């Protein structure tokens, strides 16, 4: 892991890094020392590690004592786009414009990225936990939309993750992994989501095998998640990672 830059403001230190070809950001409380809980933040489709929502969550969590890491998903942010990925995205957009099932189209794109994304996250998790100011404390995951689609396979594959905040996605392509997922989950649904049909979101929540799972449903479209859900996710992750 190679750190590129470091800045501190409002009690939070932000460190940009690369691990091989994976670009990422680590947020920690300013002056942090010793082991602390770690949260992995997965961004949405078409976004990147410094998307406004990711930064807002990260800084909020870091102020409360967590270490937080975000990386660019394959084909996003600073990472190169392969011809195959560009083709899949073009086909997905064309299918949506033609009125095809958006859940199935998005699932195809997530399925293409998931294998690499899981390997990336596992490598970054291992590297970050070797840092003196992070250590091998409990780990949580938070990801909406594509962050959920890539997060569920990761959580199933990675026993270090103990709790997750997920949502804004349907069951297409995820039923099998969801049935193997047992960590506590807080799941968000936007009741008027124009991209993810409500019944598909509820079906994904139902498919999760977690004995402890909570559904948070709010009015509004895909990007209209209320700001108070950040505090709610913080409370949930604090309970399970403290």
Give the residue extent of every domain in the chain. 2-241
Q: 4 and 18 in contact (C-beta within 8 Å)?
A: yes
Domain 2-241 sits in CATH 3.20.20.150: no
Computed on alpha carbons and rounded to an integer, the radius of gyration of the chain in Å comes to 17
φ/ψ (deg, to 5) at 46: 80, 0
Q: Write down the pLDDT at residue 130.
A: 98
Contacts of 161 (CB under 8 A, 6+ apart): 40, 139, 140, 141, 154, 155, 183
138 or 91, which is more confident?
Answer: 138
Q: Write down the pLDDT at residue 89.
A: 87
% of the chain at pLDDT higher than 70: 100
Q: Write down the pLDDT at residue 45.
A: 92
In sign, the C-alpha dihedral spanning 169, 172, 175, 181 is negative
CA distance 118 to 164: 15
Q: Is the pLDDT of residue 104 over 90?
A: no
Q: And the tokens for 188?
A: 């968000």
4: three-class secondary structure by DSSP? strand
pTM of the complete model: 0.95
Cβ atoms < 10 Å from Cβ of 232: 15
Torsion of CA 86, 154, 104, 23, to 10 degrees: -20
Q: Write down the pLDDT at residue 188.
A: 98
Q: 20 and 5 in contact (C-beta within 8 Å)?
A: no
Question: What are 189's strand-pairing partners?
Answer: 217
Q: Residue range 16-28: average pLDDT? A: 98
Q: And the tokens for 198?
A: 């409500």
Q: Is the pLDDT of residue 20 over 90?
A: yes
CA distance 88 to 67: 34
Strand stretches in 30-160, DSSP E: 38-42, 67-71, 139-144
pLDDT per position as a tens digit, 208-224: 999 999 999 999 999 99
Q: Which residue has the tokens 């969590």?
A: 61
CA distance 235 to 162: 15
């Amino acid at each position: 892991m190679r750190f590129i830059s470091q800045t501190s403001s409002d009690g939070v230190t932000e460190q940009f890094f690369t691990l091989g070809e994976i670009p990422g950001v680590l947020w920690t409380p300013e002056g942090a020392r010793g082991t602390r809980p770690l949260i992995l933040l997965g961004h949405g489709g078409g976004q990147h590690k410094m998307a406004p929502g990711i930064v807002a969550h990260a800084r909020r969590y870091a102020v409360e004592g967590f270490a937080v890491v975000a990386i660019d998903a394959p084909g996003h942010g600073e990472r190169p786009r392969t011809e195959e990925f560009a083709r899949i995205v073009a086909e997905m957009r064309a299918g949506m414009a033609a009125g095809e099932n958006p859940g199935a189209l998005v699932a195809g794109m997530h399925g293409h990225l998931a294998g690499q994304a899981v390997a990336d996250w596992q490598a970054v998790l291992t590297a970050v936990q070797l840092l003196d100011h992070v250590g091998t404390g409990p780990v949580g995951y938070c990801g909406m939309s594509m962050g959920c689609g890539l997060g569920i396979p990761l959580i199933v594959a990675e026993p270090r993750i103990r709790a997750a905040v997920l949502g804004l996605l349907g069951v297409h392509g995820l039923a099998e992994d969801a049935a193997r997922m047992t960590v506590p989950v807080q799941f968000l649904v936007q009741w008027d989501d124009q991209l993810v049909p409500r019944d598909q979101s509820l079906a994904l929540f139902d498919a999760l095998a977690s004995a402890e799972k909570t559904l948070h449903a709010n009015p509004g479209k895909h990007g209209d998640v209320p700001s108070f859900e950040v505090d709610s996710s913080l409370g949930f992750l604090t309970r399970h990672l403290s």
